[in-house]
Amino acid sequence: MMGQPIIFIDGEAGTTGLKLAALIRETGQFELLTLPLDLRKSAEKRREALNDCDIAVLCLPDEAARESVSLISNRNVRVLDASVAHRVSPGWTYGFPEMTVGQQKCICEARRVSNPGCFGIAAVSLIRPLTDAGLIAPQQSLSLFGISGYSGGGRGLIDAFEDSSGLDPISSNYYVYGLSLQHKHLPEITLHSGLKTPPVFVPSVGRFRQGMIVMLPLHRSQTAHPGARAGPALLPLFEATYAAHYRGARHVRLRTAASFRTAVTLRLDPEALNDTNDLEVFVFEDAAEEGRALLVARLDNLGKGSSMAALQNLRIMCDLSEPTRLDSGPPSLQKN
């Protein structure tokens, strides 16, 4: 690839597209191909741009993303899709570089990469290390609970929370949705977590713009590993598993229980990682019974859950990024 890689964002005017475009301009590592505002809905101009770039980034609704892929005839154009459309499609690489040791290499070599969803990457970050280690059986039934900032719902939900004079304002501070149990991220979570059974997933939205937490509660009886079944405590086993799985990872790290032992009251702020590309994993346990655990992932839904993850994937695809995993050094065990 000669010169700076040329990036075209199809759907630049959306929440993810706007943030990603700003991040790309800040890096100075890419040339951003843009269309004038009055031409962004022109099928012909979009087709030209999609075929004139090195990487097309799709920040579009699912059907529109599929349409954009169909418009690409230039075999040299690579695609990074931020929609749900291709996250479980054959021939597409899942854009979570820290998911396994070899995933970054797969992304680097891929022609088609699907950027993870915010709830998706959080759930996979918790479950995949456990299925890989044999602590959770693929057929195990699990339950997930999550809360996200309202920016995860795109422009419509942002306006509903921020504009009380709009057509459909939201006055509540919190609500649960996805009560049909058919959330759009479930296929992604199931496949990339290594599960055979879709979890019960209960998402919610809070009155804060960005940031999120996803929780996986577990009883000892849900584990498959003899060491977990025999005890005595789940916490050290889970912490050791996450430490090994994310050893040397720059953007995914384990926060150990030791970080919280001096706290009078345990609290996790969903906004703590806002404006970063980081994801933190926590393990909590019932100290009295030692048979119940709570696994938690925390991230920025617009960061590691969206635009910043897309920038990370672009850098990897263009071989411009810092290594996602360090070449050497101790496991990423954070004490504070």
Please give the single-letter amino acid code of residue 140.
Q
Is the CB of residue 280 less than 8 Å from the CB of residue 205?
no
Is the CB of residue 140 less than 8 Å from the CB of residue 224?
yes
Instruction: Give CA–CA dist 180/202, Å, rounded.
Output: 10
- Nearest Cα to Cα of residue 112 among 68, 159, 145: 68
Please give the single-letter amino acid code of residue 302.
L
Q: C-alpha angle with apex 279: 20 to 222, nearest 5 degrees? A: 130
- Nearest Cα to Cα of residue 210 among 162, 177, 165, 245: 162
Q: SS3 of 95, please?
A: coil
Q: Which residues of 200-221 are buried (b: 16+ CB within 10 A; e: fewer)?
A: ebbbebbebbbbbbbbbebebe
Is 108 one of the catalytic residues? no
Cβ neighbourhood burial of 181 (10 Å; 0-12, 13-18, 19+)? exposed
Catalytic residue selected from 53, 59, 108, 118: 118
Backbone angles phi, psi at 54, to 5 degrees: -85, -40
Other Cβ atoms less than 10 A from the Cβ of 127: the count is 25
Q: C-alpha angle with apex 232: 226 to 233, nearest 5 degrees? A: 95
CA distances from 260 to 245, 256, 287, 294 (A): 22, 8, 13, 14
Residues with catalytic function: 118
